[in-house]
Amino acid sequence: MASSRGEFGSRFGFVMAASGSAVGLGNIWGFPTQAATNGGAAFLLVYLFLAFVLAYPILMAELVIGRHAHANAVSALRQISPTRLTGNIGALGGMAGFVIASLILTFYAIVAGWMMAFCLASVADLIGLTDFSRWLMTFGWWRNVVFMLAFMALTMAIITAGVRAGIEQWSQRLMPTLLIMLAALVGYVLTQEGASDGLKVYLMPDFRSALSPQLIIAALGSAFFSLSLGVGTMLIYGSYLKDDENLPIVGGLVTLVDVSIAVLAGFLVLPAMYVALHNGVEIFTETGALISEDTLIFTVLPELFATMGIAGVLGSITLFFLMSIAALTSAISMLEVPVAYAIEEHGTKRRNAVLIIGSLIALGSVVILLHFESLFGLVIAITTRYSQPLLGLMMCVYAGWVWRRDSLLRELRKNDPSAAEGLFWKVWPWYVKFVCPVIILAIFSHATWG
Ligand code: TRP
């Protein structure tokens, strides 16, 4: 059964692909910005704790369900349901997941397009095309549309190639490149004046702020978005895993890679902010709050690079190229969610599914660009603040309450015959049943009434 579907060829390939999904604009910019707003080191500590204690178990829920069913979220949740009713509710949840994944991609493609535009702008600077460079860096309809479409076209091309040739091959190449480039940039930034102020903020915790509920909820949300949870992305990736793969270890590796890159990105962005501050660039408003995320990255970083001469141009090319890569490997994981559904539930050919769904998503992005002021923030809020926690809650309920325990154990035994004696089996089922839902409900109620 599994062999008629796509399947990852190696553990390395899977870990790279799933980490490629997890590591994206969220880690490289979102996490460091939140760390900067929420007390730096205190946020880092809470984030580290929550990533392993909360996000990892939910990631496991998606991976286990996915591998068991070897199917997309809709039929996977139906398969593990003992009754018709829970099956139908699960299928509805799975459908909600692919709608949300598609909606996330509509704004993600826009921001990723900006990354590509800024990368190209520095190349244009390098060869003396200053007017073109200015156009690329200025917020405008044609710039936005052209680069959003270019990004979507790249994503669609990779997804068309399928699991092994597409997702795995690309991620295997892109992910290590990303790590190396990030480390090199961190090394560079740390030699700059002002960087030590950023390091101090990032590494010296203030334990009073570590206990504030606002910080904890921010760190929770960050971990959740960062690991691509809720919408069925990781469930689909799990469904392409071979049965003999050790799930708890593979999931742990993915979490480790995701968290490491976020922490590494913090070592780049926080010092870079204070280098910019040192050079007279405004990064805080008059009230001491951080200037909003998109303003920060697209105003402050180019200004920072501008003070570095030719090294700055090269640094800018590197950084925005790196961001584009990270966004691309995340975007392919989003597009795979609705594409896998169309292929498996409606027998659509992969090429056609990609073409139709990709075009619809691009159309959605165009609509957002047409009504940017009102729609952009709204779509982000609806998808990431409300939908993701709710859908994550559903994954926990299905793994912990709906799925029969003996069937779940049988799944874990596929790769580890002694799973019943292991620590994972003793802790995890109870954990996703009670602890994770309570925490997610807390996030959701805060987002609603906080
Ligand atoms: N985790 C990615 C990031 O940090 C984004 C992402 C990819 C995502 N797939 C997802 C977010 C699915 C939510 C749901 O940028």
pLDDT in tens, 255-269: 998 999 999 989 988
Helical residues (DSSP H) of 127-212, grouped into ranges: 130-137, 141-160, 169-189, 195-203, 207-210
Question: Is 32 near ligand 1, meaning CB less than 6 Å away?
Answer: no
> Ligand 1: does its nearest atom lie under 6 Å from the Cβ of 339?
no
Tell how far the Cα of 227 is from the centroid of ligand 1, in angstroms: 6
Is residue 410's pLDDT more than 80? yes
23: left (phi over 0), alpha (psi -120 to 50) or beta: beta
21 lines ligand 1 (CB under 6 A): yes
Strands annotated E in 295-382: none
Quick check: CB of 222 below 6 Å from ligand 1?
A: no
Which whole-number Å values give the CA distances from 61 to 200, 256, 342, 362, 382, in the listed order? 37, 17, 23, 31, 23
pLDDT of res. 1: 36
Atom of ligand 1 nearest to the CA of 100: 14
pLDDT band at 145; cut points 50, 70, 90: very high
Residue with CA at minimum distance from ligand 1 atom 7? 330
Distance 44 CA to ligand 1 centre (A): 19
Asked whether the predicted pLDDT for residue 84 surpasses 50, the reply is yes
Residue with tokens 């469904």: 239
Confidence at 2, pLDDT banded by 50, 70, 90: very low
Binding site membership of 27 for ligand 1 (Cβ less than 6 Å): yes
> Given a cut of 70, is residue 300 above it in pLDDT?
no
CA of 233 to the centre of ligand 1 (A): 8
High-pLDDT (> 70) share of the chain, %: 93
pTM score, whole prediction: 0.89
Q: How confident is the model at residue 447 (pLDDT cuts 50, 70, 90)?
A: low
Q: For the purposes of burial, counting CB atoms within 10 Å of the CB of 349, is it exposed (0-12), middle (13-18) or buried (19 or more)?
A: exposed
Highest average pLDDT, of 68-77, 310-319, 441-450, comes from 68-77
With contact defined as beta carbons under 8 Å apart, do 97 and 230 qualify? Answer: yes
Q: Whose CA is nearest to atom 9 of ligand 1?
A: 228
What domains can be seen in the chain, in order of their start residue? 7-279+293-449 (1.10.4160.10)
pLDDT reported for residue 450: 57
Residue 126 Cα to ligand 1 middle (Å): 32
Mean pLDDT of all residues in 378-388: 80
Among 58, 59, 102, 104, residue to substitute to test ligand 1 (most atoms within 8 Å of Cβ): 104
CB of 226 closer than 6 angstroms to any ligand 1 atom:
yes
Q: Mean of the pLDDT values across residues 307-318?
A: 84
> Does any ligand 1 atom lie closer than 6 A to the CB of residue 233?
yes
Whole-number Å distance, alpha carbon 278 to ligand 1 midpoint, is: 33
Residue 92 burial (C-beta neighbours within 10 Å; 0-12, 13-18, 19+): middle
Residue that wins the pLDDT comparison between 215 and 328: 328
pLDDT for the residue numbered 244: 82
Residue whose C-alpha is closest to residue 402's, from 98, 55, 88 = 88
> Which residue has its alpha carbon closest to ligand 1 atom 15?
24
Distance 422 CA to ligand 1 centre (A): 31
Residue 440 pLDDT exceeds 60: yes
Question: pLDDT value at position 293?
Answer: 60
Percentage with pLDDT > 90 across the chain: 44
- The mean pLDDT value for 154-168 works out to 79
Atom of ligand 1 nearest to the CA of 230: 14
Distance 223 CA to ligand 1 centre (A): 10
What pLDDT score does 387 carry? 82
Structure-block tokens of residue 336: 């795979």
Assign residue 200 a region (left: φ > 0; alpha: ψ between -120 and 50; beta: otherwise): alpha
Q: Within 13 A of 86's CA, how many CA atoms are on the CB side?
A: 16
Element (H, E) at 231: none
Lowest-confidence region among 83-97, 155-169, 290-304, 339-353: 290-304
Q: How far is the CA of 187 from the centre of ligand 1 (A)?
A: 27
Is residue 104 within 6 Å of ligand 1 at its C-beta?
A: yes
Assign 115 to helix, strand or coil: helix
Q: Residue 284 in 3-state DSSP? A: strand
Q: What is the mean pLDDT of residues 351-359?
A: 97
Pick 422 or 168 by higher pLDDT.
422
Going by C-beta distance under 8 Å and a sequence separation of 6 or more, which residues neighbour residue 261? 19, 23, 27, 28, 178, 179, 182
